[in-house]
């Protein structure tokens, strides 16, 4: 694939594109992520399914030396983040509107140093669980994109989803669950701001699970 990372050709990835900041015409090939691509960024972090963008924008503001890549299939959330990018003149966010797995398949190996999958659609009905994003196939794609020592943060308010994630990770030798006690998965870290979906879960009285994995 030779489409530039700044914009994937519609025929190659179902209309998916990356844009954001003041630069929507990057020309770097997808085989690498050059530092100059996002104002001298030294690291690349990926958020899958950023929803309204609360967490993505917070991380971009708090970490100006990090290039944030946000994936979201729904237009409302993308527009909200693009408006914030323009209004605040943020230069370290790139957006992929579409299925994150499209992007994971073309990212260079070991190019991402932190990834977030926060409160994805739980598909609670048993017959729909095969549609859940976090499955062995997606975990394999994430393992390929994350560099050794990278961090994968996952949040959910569905106990069954947390269980199936941990079961899948138990068979994935490239990840290790970073946990020493119950507080590690019950208490959200200070540098992990709440999303609106998490806030809804809290208001509904549902327990939230915060899982942190190390890419070995």
Give the active site residues: 121
Q: How confident is the model at residue 27 (pLDDT cuts 50, 70, 90)?
A: very low
Predicted pLDDT of residue 106: 97
The per-residue pLDDT for 122 is 77
Q: What is the mean pLDDT of residues 175-203?
A: 96
Q: Is residue 106 a contact partner of residue 18, using CB atoms and an 8 Å limit?
A: no
Range of lowest pLDDT (22-31, 96-105, 142-151, 186-195): 22-31
* 41: confidence class by pLDDT, cuts 50, 70, 90: confident
The full set of domains in the chain, from first to last, is 38-215 (3.40.50.150)
> What band does 121 get if pLDDT is binned at 50, 70 and 90?
confident
Residue 129's pLDDT band (cuts 50, 70, 90):
low
What residues contact 31, with CB distance under 8 A and at least 6 apart? 108
Average pLDDT of the chain to the nearest whole number: 83
What pTM value is reported for the model? Answer: 0.82
Across residues 47-60, what is the average pLDDT?
Answer: 97
Q: Residue 32 above 70 pLDDT?
A: no
Show the DSSP H helices in the chain as ranges: 10-13, 54-62, 75-88, 100-104, 136-145, 159-170, 183-186, 196-203
Q: Convert the pLDDT of each residue in 152-178 to its tens digit.
A: 999 999 999 999 999 999 999 999 999
Closest CA to 211 of 112, 120, 101, 118: 118
CB burial of residue 55 (10 Å; 0-12, 13-18, 19+) = buried
């Amino acid at each position: 694939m030779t489409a530039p990372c700044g914009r994937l050709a519609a025929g190659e990835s179902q209309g998916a594109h990356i844009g954001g900041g003041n630069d929507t015409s990057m020309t770097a090939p997808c085989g690498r992520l050059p530092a100059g691509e996002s104002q001298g960024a030294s690291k690349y972090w990926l958020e899958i399914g950023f929803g309204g963008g609360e967490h993505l924008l917070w991380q971009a503001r708090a970490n100006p030396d990090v290039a944030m890549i946000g994936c979201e299939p729904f237009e409302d959330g993308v527009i909200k983040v693009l408006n914030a990018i323009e209004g605040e003149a943020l230069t370290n966010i790139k957006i992929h509107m579409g299925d994150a797995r499209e992007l994971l398949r073309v990212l260079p190996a070991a190019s991402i140093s932190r990834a977030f999958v926060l409160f994805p659609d739980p598909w609670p009905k048993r017959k729909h669980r095969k549609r859940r994003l976090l499955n062995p196939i997606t975990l394999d794609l994430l393992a390929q994109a994350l560099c050794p020592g990278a961090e994968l943060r996952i949040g959910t308010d569905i106990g069954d989803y947390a269980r199936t994630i941990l079961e899948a990770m138990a068979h994935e030798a490239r990840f290790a669950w970073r946990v020493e006690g119950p507080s590690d998965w019950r208490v959200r870290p200070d540098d992990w701001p709440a999303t609106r979906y998490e806030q809804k879960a809290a208001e509904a009285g549902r327990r939230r699970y915060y899982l942190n994995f190390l890419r070995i």
